[in-house]
Amino acid sequence: MQKLQIINEERFCDYSGNTPESHRAMAQLFIEQAHVYVQDLCFAMDENSQDLWHDVAHKYKGMAAFAGADALYKACQHAQDISATSKINKQKVLNSIEKETNRAIQELSDIFQTEHI
Amino acid sequence: MEYYPNLRFDQDHAVAKNDINSVQHWRCLHIEIKELPDNIDLERLAQKIFKIFQSLPGCFYFDPRARMTVFCKMQESIIIDDIAYKINSLIKADFMCRMGEQTILSNGIVSLQFIFSPTSSEKQKLSQEFIMQERLKRHHDIIMVVEDDLFARSIVKDALSSKFKLIEIDNGAKATQEYLSNSPDVLFLDIHLPNKKGPQILKEIMEVDPQAYVIMLSADANKDRIMECIKMGAKGFIAKPFNGEKLFNYIRRCPTIRVYC
């Protein structure tokens, strides 16, 4: 396995099972779910729903922690903290979440040859 | 029937006071009333209960520790359920009667125990007994996880599904019902859930099963919220991210788990 840089490899492997197959399956699941969470954040921002924004950011933060995606985790934590702020500020945070999401997905896709959805 | 206030039931006293040729129709009925509302005077209630049996031969004991015992010769027309119904109606509160121990006294007389408790505690007891029976009847352990994040659920599934029957719930609204339907040994319950939050689910479950073994999960280690859950009866808390070993640490401590893990 190549060395992961965006994803904390040790943590990712600790949480995602003991076999290369389970690592690959979890990487695939992370990619699928990451897209769902980013879409949900966009929706929450457009609908100006503080609660939904907060809940999705919280959930995404949890998944980022499991995957060892530290920068993404911090971005989600920030999103959770600013759930009461304006749409402009949320857009900035969302951009940073999208950036970190893409980096994490790219790395997982490269390493585990998962389908890049 | 003679009324003996301030006297605890004594078998020798009862036998001496009554002409017992054959023990066949004689019964000893112990009446226990739990959690009686403050506005009901127990002594007055005892006098009313005495009137139900007044026409029968026997003795009525009401001792200072609020125990009532009816030692009487029952007529065949008297049905035990009727007695429970009549006493229940005298309590004038939402109470239920449950039959307790049935024993045979040394002289061969049948002794029955009537326990009256508030309906809510009785329902709780019945649900608790049902859940315990369900756990004992089956030959496998059940773990339930209530978690809406698919990734976290997959981690739980990978870690536990080879050793336990795992039930996955992704929605807070279904959690309590599924808990009651499956009587899991251990419940891993996320705090942030859609439709119904973890602490509310915990509260509902603890009301019907105070012995429930519930471990809370959350990505936020908010001390106040964790303490609130522990006070409500949760047995522990696991912060996300977690690995299988953290789950097993709690599962091993659950008293009803039979699988070695």
Does the beta-carbon distance from B219 to A17 stay under 8 Å?
no
Asked whether residue B78 carries a pLDDT value surpassing 80, the answer given is no
Contacts of B15 (CB under 8 A, 6+ apart): B107
| Dihedral angle, C-alpha A89, A95, A97, A100, nearest 10 ° | -140
B83-117 tens-digit pLDDT: 888 888 888 778 888 888 889 998 899 999 998 88
A15 near B CB under 8 A: yes
What residue spans of B171-221 are helical by DSSP H? Answer: 172-182, 198-208
3-state secondary structure of B163: coil
pLDDT at B142: 96
pLDDT at A58: 94
Select from B141, B133, B146, B151 the least CA-distant residue to B261.
B141
A74 near B CB under 8 A: no
Q: How far apart are CA A84 and CA A29, in angstroms?
A: 30
Cβ neighbours around B176 below 10 Å, total: 20
Select from A7, A3, A23 the least CA-distant residue to A15.
A23
Sequence spans of domains, chain B: 2-119, 138-253
The model's confidence at residue B231, banded by pLDDT at 50, 70 and 90, is: very high
ipTM over 0.90: no
A54-71 tens-digit pLDDT: 999 999 999 999 999 999
User: What domains can you pick out in chain A, each with its CATH number?
Assistant: 9-112 (1.20.120.160)
Chain A positions touching B198 (Cβ under 8 A) are: none
3-state secondary structure of B197: coil
Query: How far apart are the CA of A43 and the nearest CA of chain B, in angstroms?
Result: 16
**Across the interface, which of B154, B194, B219 has its CB nearest the CB of A65?**
B219
Asked whether residue B32 carries a pLDDT value surpassing 80, the answer given is yes
Average pLDDT along chain B: 89
SS (H, E, C) A51-93: HHHHHHHHHHHHHHHHHCEHHHHHHHHHHHHCCCCCHHHHHHH
B171 near A CB under 8 A: no
B218: nearest CA in chain A?
A62
Q: Structurally, what CATH architecture does the domain formed by B138-253 represent? A: 3-Layer(aba) Sandwich (3.40)
Does the beta-carbon distance from B158 to A62 stay under 8 Å?
no
Select from B257, B256, B258 the least CA-distant residue to B128.
B256
Pick from B145, B150, B151 the residue to mutate for testing the A interface (most A CBs within 10 Å).
B151
Q: What is the pTM of this model?
A: 0.68
What mean pLDDT is predicted for residues A81-108?
94
Q: How far apart are CA B95 and CA B189, in angstroms?
A: 33
Residues B214 and B187 sit within 8 Å (Cβ to Cβ) = yes
| Dihedral angle, C-alpha A32, A35, A40, A43, nearest 10 ° | -140
The model's confidence at residue B17, banded by pLDDT at 50, 70 and 90, is: very high
Element (H, E) at B167: strand B165-169
How far does chain B reach from its first CA to its final CA, in angstroms?
62
B104 near A CB under 8 A: no
| % of chain B with per-residue pLDDT over 70 | 98
The model's confidence at residue A115, banded by pLDDT at 50, 70 and 90, is: low
